[in-house]
Structure 1
Amino acid sequence: MSLEDIKGTYDSVFSLGDLCLTSIQLKKNNLRPFSGVLDWMASPSLSNVNRLLKNRFVGFMDLPNLRIIGYASDQLICVSDDGYQIVSNHDFEVGKNTLSHLGGYPEVREKFDRRIKRFLEKMETSKRILFVRTEGTFEEVLELESILSKMVKHDFRILIVNHTDVSGLTEKNWPIERVSVVELPNQDIWNANDHFWKMMFDGVQLSGK
């Protein structure tokens, strides 16, 4: 599928990682109507995200699976869900949480439960959904499309953005139904590619906008 094929109106748009970058770009382009489960987390392995989706988030961020890594910043503690190899850098605030005790866990748990419930509800009710993921191999994306085809009741599209040594926005022709794949320059993924993201999302909008 080409970028032209993702144009249109969507009821829901979700980031599937791998970093906060995807959520930041959705927000910049007015395509983030609500928070997703993986918005502000590091999920470097798409295979683990696929497993998470296939399991419908069972066990995700459960306290026995959590490991405190250290300080993400002066205000936040970095915590890993070792069951899925997904890392939280933005959920556990210093004060309520320490390097030896996650005192704020009940609030974080409640937030993730709310986001998971909404995600699963949208899979059933949205007429058209766009999923956006940075970094994924052909095999991983093929599996992702297969898993989502079983979860999503109606129509969906997937946009995969891989950062490589290209000099500009480069479309790839992967023979996977419902999937558009592009490559972007990897020199400064956080700041230098804003215009490319804007080009990719040209013609994509939320229903009611």
Structure 2
Amino acid sequence: MNLAQVQGGYDAIYSLGSSCLPALKLQSRNLRPSSGPIDWMTSRSLPDVNRLLEAKFNDFMSLKHIKVTGDLSYQKAHYIVKDTLYQISSVHDFDIYQNTLTDLKQYPEVMTKLNRRIQRMLQDMSSGKRILFIRTEESGNYPIKETLDILDKQVAGSYVFLYIRQADVFDVMDCHHKHPSLCVVLVPRDPVWYMEDTWDRILNSVYVNE
């Protein structure tokens, strides 16, 4: 699949990590009709995201697996809370005013919100809708086949997996992957991922179906 084939309408669009970046870029372009489970989380390892998808989010962020790391979000307003089972961290859910390192008072409301997002995503995946999944990668070259195998099994309709990775390139590079549902795009390195022109090119003519 090439980048031009990504264009078109989608019934749902979901971020698969690795940070808040896809959700931010989608939101600023009115391409985020609803929130996904890991929109505002960090998920540095694609294999761990694969395990999460394979398990259909079972036990995700459960009390027995979470750890308050002691670190704060970039804005210093939220505690970073890590799911040690899937190695995925919440960075915008537990604010420093209502929670402490030993008492996450917002946990019940956070889980209510998270479970609602999980159920919506799983419902969309099983309902025959056309879905766009997006993941950004700062470094590394994770094997994507496992992700595709999982999506092939779980998505009842059609889907596109748009995988965007920083690399030593000077312009957007479309890798023309042979898999019919996978588009791999390399982009120039940028530590803060601003690159608005780049995102405009990548998401050109992508829209949400009404």
Taking structure 1 as the reference length, the TM-score comes to 0.94
Distance in 2 (alpha carbons) for counterparts of 1:56 and 1:108: 18
Cross-structure match for 1:77:
79
2:202 to 192, 200, 203: 200
CA deviations over 1:24-71 (Å, ceiling 9, x no partner): 111122210000011010000000000000000001000110011123
Gaps of 5+ in 1: none
Letter in 1 for 2:207: Q
* Separation (CA, whole Å) in 1 of partners of 2:185 and 2:14: 17
The answer to whether the 8 Å contact 2:171/2:187 transfers is yes
Alignment-derived partner of residue 133 in structure 1: 135
**Consecutive aligned runs of 4 or more in structure 1 exceeding 6 Å deviation:** none
CA contact 2:3–2:176 (8 Å) conserved in 1? no
Whole-angstrom CA distance in 1 between matches of 2:39 and 2:145: 22
The residue that corresponds to 2:162 in the other structure is 159
Which residue in the other structure is 1:91 paired with?
Answer: 93
In the TM superposition, what is the alpha-carbon distance from 1:159 to its structure 2 partner?
A: 0.4
* 2:199 aligned with 1:183: no
Aligned to 1:67: 67
Gaps of at least 5 residues in structure 2 are none
- Secondary structure class of the residue paired with 2:108: helix
Letter in 2 for 1:182: V
CA contact (8 A) 1:50 1:144 kept: yes
Q: Percentage identity across aligned positions?
A: 39
- SS for the counterpart of 1:149 is helix
Counterparts in 2 of 1:88 and 1:196: CA distance versus 1, 3 Å: same
* Aligned position for 1:4: 4
> Given that residues 142 and 176 in structure 1 are in contact (C-alpha distance below 8 angstroms), is that contact kept between their aligned partners in structure 2?
no
Instruction: Please say which of residues 169-178 and 141-150 is displaced more in the overlay.
Output: 169-178
